[in-house]
Amino acid sequence: MLARRVLIGVPYLWLLVLFLVPFGIVLKIALSDYALSIPPYTPTMDFSQGWSGVKRFFAALDLENFWFLSEDDLYWKAYLSSLRIALISTFLTLLAGFPIAYAMARAPQEWRPALMMLVILPFWTSFLIRVYAWMGILSNEGFLNQALMGLGVIGTPLTLLNTDIAVYIGIVYTYLPFMILPVYATLERMDESLLEAAEDLGCSRLSAFWSVTFPLARPGMVAGCFLVFIPALGEFVIPSLLGGSGTLMIGKVLWEEFFANRDWPVASAVAIVLLLLLIVPIILFQRNEQKQREANR
C-alpha cells in the first residue's frame, strides 16, 4: 500500500514542484504593482513583520494588470494574431504530416526504423541554427529565390522573409515531427484486416480510408495538433527571426514586457492569460472525450 501511494505521489509531486509552484509565483507577480526596485514589483512578503505583514501583503494585491490588458488593444490583438497563426500552422502541419505518417505506417517493416530516424534527425541540430538556415533560404538572395529564378518560374525575387508566410514555413518545419510521430504511432498499430473487411463489404479504397483509417487515426491527429498548437501559440524565436517587426505574436509581446520594459507584473499577467487560453480548452476537450468513452461502454 505504501509503495502504491509513493508511486502515485511522484507525478503529483512533479506537478507541484515544476508547475503549481512556478504558476503561483507568476500569479503573485501578476497581482503586484510595477516598481523601480529589485525585484521590479511590489509588494514583497516580509515575514519579519509577523501576521500583520502577511495581511498587508495580500491586501496590496489587485487585478489592475489584468484590467490593463483588457483596455490596451495591443494585447488582445496579439492574442488573436497568435491564435490565428497557431491554428493555421497546426492545420498546415497536419496536412503535411498525415501523408508522411501514413506512408511510414504502410512502408515495409524493415524500412520503418530508417524512416523514423529521418523524421527525428533534425532534432540533432540546434533549433536556433535551423531557424537561421531558413533565413538564408527565404531571403531575396536566398536559395529558394535563386532556384526559382534559375528555373524561370519567377523573374524577380519573391519577398518571403519578414512575412507571415515565413512564420508558417518555420513553424511547420520545426514542429512537423511532433505531428508525424503520434499519427504514425496510431496508424502503425491499426489492424489492416479492417480495411480488407471494408473492401469485401463493397467499399472502394478511398471510401475504406475515410470510413476506417481516418477515424482510427483521430487520437493521434488530436495529440499531434495539441503538440503543435501549444508551443506555436507562445512561439517567440520563429516570429522574431522570420516574421520581423510586422508579425504580432504574444510571445514577442511577453519578451518585450519582461526584458525591454522590465514590467514584470504586466508580463506575468500576459503569461497567466496565455496559460488559461491553453489549459481551459484542453480540460474541456478531455472531459468531453471521457464522457464519450463512458457513453460508448
- Set out the domains of the chain in order of their start, with CATH numbers: 71-296 (1.10.3720.10)
Question: What residues does 225 pair with on adjacent strands?
Answer: none
Q: Which of 25-39, 140-154, 166-180, 273-287 has the lowest mean pLDDT?
A: 273-287
User: pTM, whole model, 2 decimals?
Assistant: 0.86
The reported pLDDT for the residue numbered 208 is 81
Mean pLDDT of the chain: 86
User: How far does Cα 201 stand from its chain's mean position?
Assistant: 41
Q: What percent of the chain has pLDDT over 70?
A: 97
Asked if pLDDT for residue 199 goes beyond 70, the answer is yes
Q: How confident is the model at residue 184 (pLDDT cuts 50, 70, 90)?
A: very high
Q: How confident is the model at residue 214 (pLDDT cuts 50, 70, 90)?
A: confident
The reported pLDDT for the residue numbered 153 is 85
Most confident of 116-130, 168-182, 258-272: 168-182
Find out whether 182 and 227 touch, Cβ atoms under 8 Å.
yes
Angle 164-188/73-106 helices, nearest 10 degrees? 40
